[in-house]
Amino acid sequence: MENTENTPKKVMLSGIQPSGDLHLGNYLGAIKNWAERAEQYDCFYFMADMHTITVRQNPADLRRRTVEQLAQYIACGLDPERNTLFIQSHVHQHAELGWILNCYTMFGELSRMTQFKDKAARHQENVNGGLFTYPCLMAADILLYQPDYVPVGEDQKQHVELTRNIVQRFNGIYGEVFKMPEPFIPKAGARVMGLSAPDTKMSKSVPEGCVFLMEPEEDIRRKFKRAVTDSDTERCVHYDPERKPGVSNLMTIYSAVTGRSYDEIEKEFEGQGYGVFKPAVGEAVIETLRPIREETRRLLKDKAYLESVYRAGAEKASYVAEKTLRKVYKKIGFVQR
Ligand code: TYM
């Protein structure tokens, strides 16, 4: 994955839905990974606002969260000068290619998507067409920018795999139109589990087990102190996701924020129980999030700056997206304007 000076930079692309406040799972599973590679790659990161409406949103909240999410991207280390940061709905090519890819994706493939099955079960009153075909829009988000890598958490891997199937099908008919993207999953933090129930992933839908980036430090401290650990008799800090899912999850979080290996963590807490370990993880997370929170607050006071970032981002993104879309239109037989 190294770039030499003579080869063009490889491309990375990803997005997050502004359907809730960003949490530690989003940070460790995705954004941290993005920020660490901003120098090495040509990067496109966006607020996936079009995806959020597969579930009903309050319009004012959606608008606010979309801009807040941009501020948090920047605060997490994504420099707008080096990364193209934009709002999905500002780049109309996403919806256009999304429609086309709908026609190259099979009902059976979409029926197998676990996120669809989960969300359909949770929102039985609103199992709409968009929820079902959403992975086609995600494939369009990706393919418009011809990325080499798509850095996501484990739960999005299935959608990237589907995108790869679509590429194979489409290129099989029309030639090399799309580049084959690869999912890029972090070693530590690909699947952060909830603090209150370590058998389900951390998500905003279970707020008591979810640590939000903008949450007050006292609340974070309390959530870690109360984190569910395991009922084994040893009560030692040891990595064993099968038998000790609670402690193993905390070790994953600690490892991701401190960079220490599981062996090093076991040594650090040797002879000490969960009562020492849990608050230590909390403090390490608080230390990591503090500068992000402070920078986000500062940025949110400067709405004009944020607006200039998302405008410039949309312009750059549109330029790239349009090139791919033109090529697709031509290949499938649409008359050129
Ligand atoms: P979304 O908005 O649900 O999540 C955003 C990113 O955060 C990761 N993530 C987690 N990682 C580790 N542990 C967790 N508990 C956890 N929860 C969330 C997700 O894996 C994801 O990387 N469909 C996407 C958004 C999207 C997208 C795209 C992503 C739309 N278009 C194109 C990549 C490329 C989604 O719903 O992610």
Give distance in angstroms: CA of 26 to centre of ligand 1: 7
In a domain, 1, yes or no: no
Express each pLDDT in 177-216 by its tens digit. 999 999 999 888 899 999 999 999 999 999 999 999 999 9
In this predicted structure, the answer to whether residue 333 has a pLDDT above a threshold of 60 is: yes
Give distance in angstroms: CA of 268 to centre of ligand 1: 32
The active-site residue out of 119, 223, 244, 278 is 119
Which residue's CA is the nearest one to ligand 1's atom 24? 16
Is any ligand 1 atom within 6 A of the Cβ of residue 137? no
Are both 22 and 137 inside the same structural domain? yes
- The pLDDT of 212-238, averaged and rounded, is 91
CA distance 246 to 229: 4
**Cβ–Cβ < 8 Å for 10, 1:** yes
Looking at residue 129, its pLDDT comes to 96
3-state secondary structure the chain: CCCCCCCCCCEEEEEECCCCCCEHHHHHHHHHHHHCCCCCCEEEEEECHHHHCCCCCCHHHHHHHHHHHHHHHHHCCCCCCCEEEEEHHHCCHHHHHHHHHHCCCCHHHHHCCHHHHHHHHHCHHHCCHHHHHHHHHHHHHHHCCCCCEEECCHHHHHHHHHHHHHHHHHHHHHCCCCCCCEEECCCCCCCCECCCCCCCECCCCCHHHCCECCCCHHHHHHHHHCCCCCCCCCCCCCCCCCCCHHHHHHHHHHHHHHCCCHHHHHHHCCCCCHHHHHHHHHHHHHHHHHHHHHHHHHHHCCHHHHHHHHHHHHHHHHHHHHHHHHHHHHHHCCCCC
Express each pLDDT in 19-74 by its tens digit. 999 999 999 999 998 998 888 999 999 999 999 999 999 999 999 999 999 999 99
Number of domains in the chain: 2
In a domain, 4, yes or no: no
Are both 21 and 145 inside the same structural domain? yes
pLDDT confidence of 5, banded at 50, 70, 90? low
Q: Up-side HSE of residue 94: CA atoms within 13 Å toward CB?
A: 23
Cα 1 to its chain centre, rounded Å, is 20
Are both 94 and 239 inside the same structural domain? no
Are both 109 and 254 inside the same structural domain? no
In a domain, 157, yes or no: yes
Share of the chain above pLDDT 90, in %: 90
Q: Is residue 119 among the annotated active site residues? A: yes
- The pLDDT of 109-121, averaged and rounded, is 94
Average pLDDT taken over every residue of the chain: 95
Which residue reads 């569910």 in tokens?
A: 228
Tell me, what CATH number does 285's domain have?
A: 1.10.240.10
pLDDT confidence of 76, banded at 50, 70, 90? very high
Q: Which of 12, 13, 14, 16 to mutate to test the pocket of ligand 1 (most atoms within 8 A of CB)?
A: 16
Share of the chain above pLDDT 70, in %: 98
- The pLDDT of 69-87, averaged and rounded, is 97
Structure tokens belonging to residue 209? 């087990």
Looking at residue 6, its pLDDT comes to 67
pLDDT confidence of 337, banded at 50, 70, 90? confident
Give distance in angstroms: CA of 203 to centre of ligand 1: 11
Are both 289 and 159 inside the same structural domain? no
Express each pLDDT in 122-144 by its tens digit. 889 999 999 999 999 999 999 99
- The pLDDT of 4-16, averaged and rounded, is 85
In a domain, 198, yes or no: no
Q: Which of 21, 22, 24, 26 to mutate to test the pocket of ligand 1 (most atoms within 8 A of CB)?
A: 26
Are both 80 and 211 inside the same structural domain? no
Are both 165 and 60 inside the same structural domain? yes
Report which of 163, 183, 181 is spatially closest to residue 109, judged by C-alpha positions: 163
CA distance 318 to 312: 10
CA distance readout (Å), 142 to 71, 115, 231, 295, 314: 22, 18, 43, 29, 15
Looking at residue 273, its pLDDT comes to 87
Q: Which of 19, 155, 201 to mutate to test the pocket of ligand 1 (most atoms within 8 A of CB)?
A: 155
In a domain, 123, yes or no: yes
Are both 169 and 306 inside the same structural domain? yes
Are both 222 and 152 inside the same structural domain? no
In a domain, 337, yes or no: no
Residue 333's CB is within 10 A of a number of other CB atoms, namely 7
Give distance in angstroms: CA of 152 to centre of ligand 1: 6
In a domain, 2, yes or no: no
In a domain, 109, yes or no: yes
CA distance readout (Å), 285 to 116, 175, 250, 288: 31, 48, 11, 5
CA distance readout (Å), 205 to 118, 189, 194, 208, 213: 12, 19, 10, 9, 15
Q: Is residue 267 among the annotated active site residues? A: no
Report which of 53, 141, 135 is spatially closest to residue 97, judged by C-alpha positions: 141
Are both 101 and 158 inside the same structural domain? yes
Which residue's CA is the nearest one to ligand 1's atom 14? 25
The active-site residue out of 10, 157, 179, 204 is 204
Measured from the Cα of 48, ligand 1's closest atom is 30
Looking at residue 42, its pLDDT comes to 95
Looking at residue 283, its pLDDT comes to 98
Give distance in angstroms: CA of 315 to centre of ligand 1: 24
pLDDT confidence of 310, banded at 50, 70, 90? very high
pLDDT confidence of 4, banded at 50, 70, 90? low
Which residue reads 């410039």 in tokens?
A: 312
CA distance 289 to 227: 18
Looking at residue 1, its pLDDT comes to 52
What domain range is 325 assigned to? 10-190+302-332
- Residues 285, 288, 292: CA angle, nearest 5 degrees: 125
Is any ligand 1 atom within 6 A of the Cβ of residue 65? no
Tell me, what CATH number does 181's domain have?
A: 3.40.50.620
- The pLDDT of 102-117, averaged and rounded, is 96
Is any ligand 1 atom within 6 A of the Cβ of residue 141? yes
Are both 111 and 255 inside the same structural domain? no
Are both 186 and 307 inside the same structural domain? yes
